[in-house]
Amino acid sequence: MIRNAFAKDSVEICRIYNYYVQNSIATFEDMPVTPTDMRNRITKTTSKFPWLVSEMGENLIGFAYATDWKQRTAYKFTVESTIYIDHEKAGNGFGKELYNELISMLKKFGFKQAIGSIALPNEASVKLHEQLGYKKSGILRNVGLKFGQWIDVGYWQLEI
């Protein structure tokens, strides 16, 4: 089931997200996020943008949300879209369903462009974005350093 995220979801969202913080380059954060910090992020984000979670039984299996692409007024119809799926549930179609719902909500909210930022390499994320209609817009080379390696970031853009 897909639903709006609430502050009370912060512990489960941290469980999913912190796996990627500690074990992958998918996020450039390098320290686990606390439930309090995540609660604050959820509250701030949901005041303006959708933040969704996907549930299976009593557990969250993923989350997706949108944030400002940039702060300047001219960007007000463009968002950055983000998705994380529990690493044990990845590859089962949950991400596609969740991201589709987020895109649908963004359209209803009147947004025109969604940008997906992908630390490379990440074949699964590239595949997901492209299946949903995102087009590769460009790559910034060696812009992040994590686990002692320089990381490229690719940008995929969806006209909503």
pLDDT at position 73, please?
A: 97
Query: Which residues make Cβ contacts (< 8 Å) with residue 43, sequence separation at least 6?
Result: 7
pLDDT at 79: 99
Q: Which two tokens stand for residue 27?
A: 């996020």
Q: How far apart are CA 7 and CA 145, in angstroms?
A: 31
pLDDT at residue 90, as a whole number: 87
Alpha carbon distance 96, 25 (integer Å): 21
pLDDT of the residue at 92: 84
CB 106, CB 159: distance < 8 Å: no
The pLDDT value given to residue 4? 98
Contacts of 47 (CB under 8 A, 6+ apart): none
Within the chain, which residues score under 70 in pLDDT? none
Is the full-model pTM beyond 0.85? yes
Q: What is the pLDDT of residue 91?
A: 82
Classify domain 2-159 at the CATH topology level: Aminopeptidase (3.40.630)
Instruction: Please tell me the predicted confidence (pLDDT) of residue 111.
Output: 98
Residues 94-119 as b or e (16 or more Cβ within 10 Å = b): bbeebbebbbebbeeeebebbbbebb
Label the pairing between strands 78-85 and 113-120. Answer: parallel
